[in-house]
Structure 1
């Protein structure tokens, strides 16, 4: 069976759910890992979207998936803010080196 554009949206949603689950247990390495998976899926979606379109009957489902992804993203950000602030405090006043 051919992978349709909507399947990419569903896979991105699944990865965003896993990111949220990882953030809820403060598994920041897991968050980064699932974020990387999302990035790959988004790039694949972009490539496929040049040649294909979402079918009119799938647009409602796509919109619902996008809303859930955005909701997950907002929750992840809320969970990550204290951790990011803690990281910023750890490095405050230290010289910044790029290797």
Structure 2
């Protein structure tokens, strides 16, 4: 990856796309791995943003990238909701057994 600030946004977008594909396959381990990749990229982006600003063109592209990331996130949440409900029920059952 070139060391341009916009490239971090596009790398995060790609990781979020991979996370979405994993969620569609119900591969929750892969979702968690992709989430970790996103977290690392976001930290790198924060560091790089301290010393670099986006051009007007790059800011426009950043907005398009961010919109796609948000759409990915919304779909991932929708796909994960049934899984999270099952997880909550499992935990509730275990917690009831303990008490």
State TM-score, norm by structure 2: 0.92
| Aligned twin of 1:19 | 19
Q: In the TM superposition, what whole-angstrom CA distance separates every residue of 1:6-29 from its partner, at most 9, and x where no partner exists?
A: 000000000000000000010000
Which residue number in structure 1 is paired with residue 37 of structure 2? Answer: 37
Distance 1:78 1:55, change over 3 A: same
- Name the structure 2 match of 1:83: 83
**Larger fraction in helix:** 2
What do the CA deviations read for 1:10-50 (whole angstroms, capped 9, x no partner)?
00000000000000010000000000000000000000101
Which structure 1 segments of 5+ residues have no match? none
Shift of 1:59: 1.0
Partner of 1:47: 47
- Give yes or no for the alignment of 1:58 onto 2:45: no
5+ residue gaps in structure 2? none
RMSD, matched Cα = 1.5
* Matched residues, number: 96
Query: Any idea what SS the aligned residue of 1:22 has?
Result: helix
Helix, strand or coil at the partner of 1:80: helix
**What is the Cα deviation at residue 93 of structure 1?**
4.1
Post-superposition Cα deviations, 1:60-95, rounded to whole Å, max 9, x if no partner, equal 111000000000000000000000000010110424
1:5 positional shift: 0.5
